Every structure is written in C-alpha cells, then in structure tokens.
Chain A
Amino acid sequence: MTLVRRGIPTVVVTTTAFEALAHHEAHTLGMEALPLLVIDHPLGGEPPARVAQKAAAAVAQLAARLGR
C-alpha cells in the first residue's frame, strides 16, 4: 500500500490457490482495497507457452486493476 499511496500503479499477483490467504492477509492488515490480480493455479512447473497464455489472459484483469 506504500506504493499505492505514492501514486505508483500497483497490483499484487497471486494464483487461485492462494487467493484466500491474500484476502485474509489484506483484511488483517487493513488493506481491503489491495489490488489483487488472480491467475489460475498453478504457475510453478508450467511450460513457458502455458505461462505466456496465462499472462496474456491476465492482461485485461491487470488493466482493470490499474484503472485503465
């Protein structure tokens, strides 16, 4: 949130498996507004082509989180 407060466009990237933890964490720290970009789990162990596919699929979500 320090980055957000400084006006730096910020997004926290997580996978679906860790989404609940990210929400818990944000809530506990009073950061409910933390911009979260959620991609399909897993990311580790994926072939580069699949990672690129997931990245491409996340672009729209990323733009929305960044408010563009």
Chain B
Amino acid sequence: MGRLPLASEVIELPDSFEAVQAHFLERGWTDGLPIVPPTAERVEAMLAGIDADPDAVVGTIPPLWGVATIEKVAINAVMAGCRPVALPVLVAALAAMLEPAFNLYGVQATTHPVAPLLIVHGPAARRLGMHAGSGLFGPGHAANATLGRAVRLCLWNLGGGRPGAADMATQGSPAKYSYAIAEREDASPWEPLHASRGLDAGESAVTVFGGEAPHNVNDHVSQHAPGLLSVVAGTAATLGSNVGWYLAQSQLLVVLGPEHAATIAADGFTRADVQRYLYEHARLPLRRRKLGGMWGIQDWPRWMTTADDDARLPIVPGPEDVLVMVAGGPGKHSAVVPNCCFSRAVTRRIDRWPGPDAGG
C-alpha cells in the first residue's frame, strides 16, 4: 500500500477474538459493542479510501481536544465496521462538526440528550449504499449503522466524550450509538436538502445536525397540507423541548415520510411554504411556556417581550431554521428532530475521493 509505517502505536495482543475485545473494552476504547480490530492492514485499506495524507489534521475534537488526524479517523472507521468508501464522508462530517456554528463542544458535553445526526446527500449516499427508506433511523442498514458508529467512536476516542465524565448528558440517547441517514431524493417533491442550502443537487455533501432522537408525527387522516402540517407543528412545539429557549440557535429538522410529503405537495406547497407554515404554527401560547422549561432564563430578543399571555411567539429565528427533507418508506409517519438550541446545522461538500471521479 506504500503508506506504512503508521504513526499510531502498534499494540500486540493474543490472536483471539475474545482477548482483543476484552482489551478494547477494558481500555474504554469502544461504545460497549464489539469492534473490528484495527490491524495495520485494515487501517491501510481504509486509508486507500481517501485522497489525503494520513498525517493531515482534520481538527481537534472537544471536549478533551484529541487530535484527529486522517489516520486516527481511519482507525475508528475500521473499528466501527466501515468500508473505505465511507472515509471521505466521515472526514467531511467531522470537519463540518468542527465549524464554530455547530458548537461540537456543546453537543458533546451538554446534559441535553443530543447527538450529531449525519444526512448524506447526492452521489455519496448512493456510493456508500446509505439507506433512506423504511426504518432508516433503525437497524439493518450497514452503511448507516457503521458510518454513524464511526462518528461516535471518533467523538468517544478522540474527543473523550465518555458518559458522566465529559459527555454530561443526564440520560443520554440511543442516537448516540449511531445516527446517520440519507434522503429519499427519488420520492421528494422538492430539490434535495443540500441544494436548498446552497450546494448543487448533483454534488456529494453531508449535513450535520445536533439533534435529539426523532419524535414521531402520526397522521393517518389528513388529506391536505394545512391539517398535516398542524400535526407536525404540534409535535415540534412541546413544553419539554429545548428548542426556542435560546432563540438565535434553535432549529428544527422535519423528516417527512414520502406519503406525507406527497399530500403536502399535492396542495401546491413548496419547501419554502412548509418552512414558513411551520415557523408560523409551531408555537405555544406564552402562558404555557411560563409553566416551566427554561422560563426566566431564556435568551430572547427584546421584541419578544410582551404582557400578552396569549401571544404565540416563534421557537426558531426564521422559516429557514426549519430544515425539511423527505425520507422513509410506506406509511403515514414523519419525524421531527429538535436541535439542542445552541448548535446550528452545517452542510459541507464531500471531497477527497481517491481517483478521477471525485464526488461522482
């Protein structure tokens, strides 16, 4: 492969599955599940999946600021079970998470149960075999499961995000094991999400969103957009949500099931209409918000000050802070993913593919 020797320390262990797993568990290097042993050969093969120097630094990962070189990221990708084709996506996702707007320190260390959700867009999703259909948030899809797990292992081993030590989530979240999806571009009435965020639809990209686990939107009866979107809005605006208390950073991700998206689009609603509708309707009367949550310690602009307890104030700064995409299989369900109200979504182009077909 021509890249040896690797910079990382080589550990000699007995040639036994049990011994290797026990060592990694004992050292605290895994999420609790068995790992693929990152042998030099496997790491070499992983590094062949990217056009980058193994010593190149992607960044330092909070909260404990481990240095993420391409090689270290590759090791964690091997451990997670990724194929080499996933490495450029993983590296782009980490770079996106390290942009200041994402506030990875906050996402990692907060008491709030949030995790970075990866949404893989364009040709990269097809190249990896990312699943965007039935049960996309759940198990059974190797590309999704291993990519999401690789992110977690990087945050765990390079960022030091261990529960109760540096990851201070009060209860944590199943989304912290693995959280990676793709869009149903084939079933979306609108352009892909990354195209709505300034990239070309034909480009490979990844969006990172610091979100809670998905909240279900059940609507089996609505025949029109306003009814259906009212149910989405009701799911988004709940008393126990973090969204809305720090207004400037609050965002919502709405993952519409294809059948719900078709119902909405049949009424002529564009993505912008959906965003505006949810911005206007995903609200609670002020008197409800005064019941608890973060009332009294909220960070709201002065114009939101009012003596009217019936006022329905926004929970995100603007319509563009409602991200809308389509994914899932047959059925009348959608999902709302609330963010952690101090992290903003970042979309980044995926490059560094080896070979001449970059991004294609």
Residues of A within 8 A of B (CB): 17-18, 20-21, 24-25, 28-29, 44
Contact = CB atoms under 8 A, between A and B. Distances in A.
Find the residue from A17, A20, A28, A29 having the highest chain B CB count within 10 A: A28
A32 to B, nearest CB: 14
Interface of B: 63-65, 109, 160, 165-166, 168, 297
16 contacts: A17-B168, A20-B165, A21-B63, A21-B109, A21-B165, A21-B166, A21-B168, A24-B63, A24-B64, A24-B165, A24-B166, A25-B63, A25-B64, A25-B166, A28-B65, A29-B65
Instruction: Specify the main secondary structure of chain A where it touches its partner.
Output: helix
B64 A28 contact: yes
Contacts, number: 21
A29 to B, nearest CB: 7
A21 B65 CA distance: 12
Contacts of A20: 165
A44 B64 CA distance: 25
A8 B83 CA distance: 52
Instruction: Specify the main secondary structure of chain B where it touches its partner.
Output: loop
Contacts of A24: 63-64, 160, 165-166
Contacts of B63: 21, 24-25
A18 B297 CA distance: 20
Contacts of B109: 21
A42 to B, nearest CB: 10
A44 B297 CA distance: 10
B104 to A, nearest CB: 14
A18 B64 contact: no
A25 B64 CA distance: 6
Contacts of A21: 63, 109, 165-166, 168
B292 to A, nearest CB: 9
B195 to A, nearest CB: 39
Nearest to B64: A28
A28 B60 CA distance: 11
Contacts of A18: 168
Contacts of B297: 44
